[in-house]
């Protein structure tokens, strides 16, 4: 009944979401108001609790931890079916697979799902957090649509 296929659709979507936040920069200044350094905020995949557990499991606060701040993490947290984008089940799309258009691949329309992500920002200084948020929010009004090559064989 079913045959094996794996197009890495979820994997590619998760990577695409993370790549949105790859180049967040912050600047920190010293006490005299001069900008000391500018650096990229590290980004990792995983729940916030995982990173916070590293700090809370240290009974002696004098020990150094491997967690440096500021940092961001993101996680895939939900998948919901979206009936508002559903098309008829028998509707197909066609794609020419060769440059001379002699071979055509047909497939059924994909099932629409909404993927939910959570982005966490951890900072020591409030100003660092504000710099990060101010670089992110202008792109999400209230949603952000991005193009991703999900299935290379058919160009979806």
CATH entry, 9-79+113-139, from 1.10.1840.10, 3.30.2000.40, 3.40.50.410, 3.40.50.300: 3.30.2000.40
The b/e string for 18-41 (b: 16+ C-beta within 10 A; e otherwise) is: bebbeebebeeeeeeeeeeeeeeb
Question: Are 71 and 89 spatial neighbours (Cβ–Cβ below 8 Å)?
Answer: no
Percent of the chain with pLDDT over 70: 76
| Residue 129 confidence (pLDDT) | 95
| Residue 116 confidence (pLDDT) | 92
Q: What is the mean pLDDT of the chain?
A: 81
Domain ranges for the chain, please list them. Answer: 9-79+113-139
* Alpha-carbon radius of gyration of the chain: 22
pLDDT at 47 over 80: yes
The whole-number average pLDDT for the span 50-58 is: 67
The whole-number average pLDDT for the span 73-98 is: 82
pLDDT band at 98 (very low <50, low <70, confident <90, very high): low
| Residue 7 confidence (pLDDT) | 80
Query: Model confidence over 64-79: pLDDT tens digits?
Result: 655 678 999 999 999 9
pLDDT at 32 over 70: no
**Helix, strand or coil, per DSSP, at residue 36:** strand
- pTM for this prediction: 0.72
Q: What is the DSSP string of 41-95?
A: PPEEES-HHHHHHHHHT-SSTTS--S--SSEEEEEEEEEEE-GGG---TT-EEEE
| CA torsion through residues 42, 45, 47, 49, sign | negative
């Amino acid at each position: 009944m079913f045959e094996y296929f794996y197009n890495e659709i979820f994997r590619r979507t998760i990577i695409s979401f993370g790549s949105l936040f790859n180049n967040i920069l912050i600047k920190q200044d010293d006490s005299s108001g001069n900008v000391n350094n500018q650096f990229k905020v590290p980004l990792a995949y995983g729940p916030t609790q995982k990173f916070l557990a590293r700090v809370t499991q240290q009974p002696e606060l004098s020990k150094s931890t491997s967690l440096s701040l500021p940092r961001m993490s993101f996680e895939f947290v939900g998948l919901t079916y979206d009936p508002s984008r559903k098309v008829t089940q028998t509707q197909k799309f066609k794609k020419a697979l060769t440059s001379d258009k002699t071979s055509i691949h047909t497939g059924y329309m994909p099932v629409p799902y909404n993927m939910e992500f959570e982005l966490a920002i951890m900072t020591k200084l409030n100003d660092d957090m504000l710099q990060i948020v101010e670089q992110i929010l202008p792109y999400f009004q209230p949603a952000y649509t991005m193009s991703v090559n999900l299935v290379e064989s058919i160009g979806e």
